[in-house]
């Protein structure tokens, strides 16, 4: 279970998050929707442990323990994973090498035995196939020359391989056409389960047709301003964010 309590965050003295309260119980999928600039991506980075943010008040608990003092790699080992809105290209790091390093780092941190190379290859290849990640992509530099859809599929592949209990998906639908959106969503849905929670951050309702949430939260000006069921997303699609966002009005 993820619990965010009265979270206040600043960047260079500018308040971005102004008291977020949010709980995602085990096995549930929650969506956060909101206009641009409402602080959605900041929230995802803060949960993942990015350096550039000052947490001035509040706490983030994962299964009852604060993760604020953990470095990003420790959070992944503990089970908190962020799929990036803009996956980073790293030329010179072969995708396969990267995946192997990530998997074994996490296994080691979890006191699990490191996988042998053949076992590792089998695991990666079978998961890759499900997400239509072609073998050539695994040989290339990480995300280098990948299309928008390929990059997002690679994010979901990493998510599947690192076996997190808490998945945060930051604007996973951005830059995807309908076919790519369907493949990525199927990949995400395959990972849904009673032991895994998800927080799906999106600007548009479209993604939530594929990944149907248990709850929808509306975020504006660094706060959760409304919470409802999946039908809230449809309402927002109709009315827009105008009533929540002074700037957009």
**Residues at the interface with another protein (CB under 8 A):** 48-51, 71-73, 76-77, 81-82, 84, 87-88, 90-93, 97-98, 101-102, 105-106, 109, 141, 158, 162
Which residue's CB is nearer to another protein, number 170 or number 173?
A: 170
Which of 70, 32, 30, 65 minimizes the C-alpha distance to 51?
70
Please report where in the chains the tokens 């709850």 appear, as a residue. 215
Nearest distance from residue 105's CB to another protein, in Å? 5
Which residue's CB is nearer to another protein, number 63 or number 105?
A: 105
Nearest distance from residue 34's CB to another protein, in Å? 22
Contact at 8 Å (CB) between 216 and 33? Answer: yes
How many CB atoms neighbour CB 81 within 10 A? 23
Nearest distance from residue 111's CB to another protein, in Å? 14
Which residue's CB is nearer to another protein, number 105 or number 227?
A: 105
Which residue's CB is nearer to another protein, number 87 or number 165?
A: 87
The phi, psi pair for 20, rounded to 5°, reads: -85, 130
Nearest distance from residue 117's CB to another protein, in Å? 16
Give the integer Cα–Cα distance in Å for 216 and 122. 37
The strand pair at 223-228 and 215-220 is best described as antiparallel
Strand, helix or coil for residue 241: coil
Nearest distance from residue 76's CB to another protein, in Å? 4
Which of 164, 165, 140, 166 minimizes the C-alpha distance to 154?
140
Class of residue 20 by CB neighbours under 10 A (exposed 0-12, middle 13-18, buried 19+): buried
Give the integer Cα–Cα distance in Å for 118 and 74. 26
Which residue's CB is nearer to another protein, number 140 or number 226?
A: 140
Nearest distance from residue 154's CB to another protein, in Å? 11
Which residue's CB is nearer to another protein, number 168 or number 224?
A: 168
Which pair of structure tokens corresponds to residue 40? 């959605």
């Amino acid at each position: 279970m993820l619990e965010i309590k009265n979270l206040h965050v600043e960047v260079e003295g500018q308040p971005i998050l102004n008291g977020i309260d949010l709980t995602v119980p085990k096995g549930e999928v929650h969506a956060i929707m909101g206009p641009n600039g409402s602080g959605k991506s900041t929230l995802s980075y803060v949960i993942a442990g990015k350096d550039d943010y000052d947490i001035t008040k509040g706490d983030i608990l994962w299964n009852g323990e604060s993760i604020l003092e953990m470095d990003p790699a420790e959070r992944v080992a503990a089970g908190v994973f962020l799929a990036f809105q803009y996956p980073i290209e790293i030329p010179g790091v072969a995708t396969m090498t990267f995946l192997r390093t990530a998997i074994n780092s996490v296994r080691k941190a979890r006191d699990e035995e490191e996988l042998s190379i053949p076992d590792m290859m089998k695991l990666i290849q079978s998961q890759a196939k499900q997400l239509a990640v072609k073998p050539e992509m695994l040989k290339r530099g990480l995300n280098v020359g990948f299309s928008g859809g390929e990059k997002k599929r690679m994010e979901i592949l990493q998510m599947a391989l690192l076996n997190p209990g808490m998945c945060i998906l930051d604007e996973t639908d951005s830059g995807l056409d309908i076919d790519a959106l369907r493949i990525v969503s199927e990949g995400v849905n395959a990972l849904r389960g009673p032991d895994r929670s998800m927080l799906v951050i999106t600007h548009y309702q479209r993604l939530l047709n594929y990944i149907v949430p248990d709850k929808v939260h509306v975020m504006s000006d660094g706060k959760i301003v409304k919470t409802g069921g999946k039908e809230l997303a449809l309402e927002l699609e109709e009315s827009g964010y105008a009533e929540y966002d002074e700037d957009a009005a």
